[in-house]
Every structure is written in C-alpha cells, then in structure tokens.
Amino acid sequence: MSTLLLDRPELYEAWFPDPDATAARFVADVAVRFGAPGERLLDAGCGTGRDAAALAARGWTASALDLAPAMVEHVRRHHRAVDAHQGDLRTLDLGRAFDVVSCLDSTLLALHDTADLLAALRRVAAHLVPGGLFVAEMRNGAFLLTAAAHRDLLGGETERVRTHDGVAYTARTLLAVDHAAQLLRRRRTWTWPGGEHTEHTAWRLLFPRELTDLLDRAGFDVLALFDTPGPRTDEPWHPDAALGTALTRDRLHVVARRRDLEETS
Ligand SMILES: C[S@@+](CC[C@H](N)C(=O)[O-])C[C@H]1O[C@@H](n2cnc3c(N)ncnc32)[C@H](O)[C@@H]1O
C-alpha cells in the first residue's frame, strides 16, 4: 500500500500532529499500569518514528519497524536513538525479544485476511519475552458497523485543507463500510497546486471478540480491552482513568500479555 502520506513523512506529521506525544505517553503509561517486565520496546508500524523517539527520550530502548521505505528512511535520518527496520509484520524476524511491542493507529488492520492477522500476531509474540506486553490501538469494528457510525463518521465526503511547506493540500475523503468483507474502505482525493492524486485504502474491521480470539491463538492473554480513553479518543488519555469496557466507540485499545512458552503450546 502506498499513499501520499506514507510517501511523505513530513506531510504525515503535519497532517496528524501530536505535539504532546500523547501516543507515546499512552504506551508508557499502559506499560507501567499493566506491569511490563522492562523498557525494551518495538513500535510495529512505526510510521515517522515519532512515538518510538519520544519513548527513547524517556529512557526506553526503542526499536521501530515499518513496511514503507520512506518512513523507515525518515526514522533513520531524524531519530538516531531509534533502531529502525524495514519489514512486514507478517514475516518479522529481528532475532531478539522485547518487553513491549506497540502497534498503534490501526496498523494491524492493514492486514485484511484472518490468516495474515494471525501470522502477524504470532511474529509479535515471538518478539516478546514471556510476560511481555502487546499494546495496540485500532478502529473498532463493533462501532463501525452501527447506525451511530453511519451518522457520525460515514455520512458523506469530508474536506480538509492544510498548508505544509507553503503548499496548500486539500484532501476529500469518503469512508464506507464493506459489510461482506468486513472492511472500512476509504477513497481520498488529494489536490494541490499543479497536482492531483486519488488513492483507495481499506482496513479490516475486527469485532472485540475476534481480536481476543486471535490473540489467544497467537499465545496471548488479554489483560484489557477498552474503547476510551486513548491517544485518539474524545476523552483525552489519562494514566489513572477508568477504562471504558462498553466498546461502543470508534477506537479499540488492547493490552495483551505473552504467555510462557509451556502455556502457549
Ligand atoms: C496509520 S500509520 C500509523 C503510524 C504510527 N504508528 C502512528 O501511530 O502515527 C500505519 C503504519 O503501518 C505501516 N504498515 C502497514 N502495514 C504494515 C505491515 N504489514 N508491516 C509493517 N508495517 C505496516 C504503514 O506503512 C504505516 O506507516
């Protein structure tokens, strides 16, 4: 999958600013709250590497993985404290284990087939020490397949304009749910002076129970599954906040612990 933002990391950060490193703070707070065994982290689907870099600045030993070559190059150029790798979650093989693997902003849902999701989660488990934590954030299938989602999110094309490096970029975005395939499909048309580009992207929609079952099959115990608060929810993330377990909102956050090998087999 190639999109304008994945090819242009600086524009990605301008488009999705996170000036307070909310996503990195979320990972760090969750790791403490759920007893991560240490501070060696792999950010899987790291994008620009800003979350891994923010964690490195807090004392973590941070590694990062992404499929998009431009993103990995950006991490290597801008975040020297982060050990960056280009690769696919489904075939991840770094030859070492971490205390925490994070996977934020629906990275996991770029995998549409159940077999691919399971392969990726098994590779994640293989890169965690026993007791290590998988911390993930993604769109919530249980919300997106409701009437509320159709009212609040899927109601029609939206338009957003942002100026970056003196160039005004306009994105017209249409989201739609493909119920049969359990995919959230996005058509986005970019225009800027002298250019136009249309891209089609999709994310798998997982129900909470499907996610829990996949994690179980990959060798994890789910410690928490909550819709709010999180790094991208209306209710801002707070380390001591009660976790919303109704799972009726747009985002799903999961914390899962890798079982001991004897328990997994
Ligand atoms: C929405 S971005 C999230 C980036 C970053 N984690 C954040 O929260 O800002 C999803 C990232 O996942 C990466 N990605 C998608 N499929 C992947 C795969 N199979 N293996 C590794 N990375 C993948 C994309 O290249 C992209 O950088």
- Ligand 1 atom closest to 23 (CA): 8
Q: What is the mean pLDDT of each run of 10 residues along the chain (265 residues)?
A: 89 95 98 98 98 98 98 98 98 98 98 98 98 98 85 85 95 94 95 95 97 98 98 94 94 96 54
Q: Domains plus CATH for the chain?
A: 4-140+205-264 (3.40.50.150), 144-203 (2.20.25)
Using the mean position of ligand 1's atoms as its centre, give its distance from the Cα of residue 62 in Å: 16
The helix/strand count (H/E) of the chain reads as 10, 11
- What kind and span of H or E run contains 100? strand 98-103
Q: What was the pLDDT predicted at 265?
A: 43
User: Within 6 Å (CB) of ligand 1, which residues are found?
Assistant: 6, 23, 45-47, 51, 65-68, 71, 88-90, 104-107, 110-111
Cα–Cα–Cα angle for 4, 253, 47, rounded to 5 degrees: 25
- Nearest 5°: phi and psi at 221? -105, 130
Query: What is the pTM (predicted TM-score) of this model?
Result: 0.96
Strand partners, 221: 257
- Residue 262 confidence (pLDDT): 58
Residue 155, pLDDT score: 77
Question: Which atom of ligand 1 is found nearest the CA of 231?
Answer: 8
Q: What is the pLDDT of residues 23-77, one digit of tens each?
A: 999 999 999 999 999 999 999 999 999 999 999 999 999 999 999 999 999 999 9
Distance CA 214, CA 220 (A): 9
